[in-house]
Amino acid sequence: MSERGLNTVSFAGHVASSAQFKSLYAEGMGLVEETASYLDGVGRQASKVLPRMASVLYAAESMRLTTRLMQMASWLLLQRAVNNGEMSRDQVLSEKNKVRLDSFNVDKTAPGWNDLPEAFRDLIERSLRLQNRIALLDREIYRPQEVQTFAPDNQNSVQAQINLLQTAFGSN
């Protein structure tokens, strides 16, 4: 680890057991519920009237969306279990190997993308933003040596940490 890395403060361990994590957990689980409700209701009806290309894309993207959300929910549940003392860090590390957070991206240039219902595309966008936040927090907690500081060597290290926090918590 570099000398600079030794001087960097990691907030991830504290965030993972804080009110911010509880908020992230609620957001993630809420998105899972909202998506399930959409796909079983309004989304099912909307998908029946889509043009052929969009219909095929809708089917593929809904599978990717649900898979992405289930992976995130698994990570959130594992983190909650370790925070509550229900699982050890080693148990979580063993189970976490089954969770994939860095995949399931979307091709917004695919034929039919613009024909997909706006609400569906919004769920996809929100899930991707949440996936990125969770993946960053995961790297901070479990693989800190892989985390980039997003700062050139001549940039203030405090600013680098602020940039990490903004990325993790989706500042507006």
pLDDT at 55 over 80: yes
Of 119, 114, 123, residue with least CA distance to 69: 123
pLDDT at 148 over 70: no
Domain chopping of the chain, boundaries: 12-143
Q: What mean pLDDT is predicted for residues 146-151?
A: 50
Categorize the per-residue pLDDT at 8 as very low, low, confident or very high, splitting at 50, 70 and 90: very low
Domain 12-143 classification at class level:
mainly alpha
pLDDT at 14 over 80: no
Categorize the per-residue pLDDT at 36 as very low, low, confident or very high, splitting at 50, 70 and 90: very high
Q: What's the pTM value of the predicted model, to 2 decimals?
A: 0.74
User: pLDDT of 70-99, one tens digit each?
Assistant: 999 999 999 898 888 898 878 888 888 788
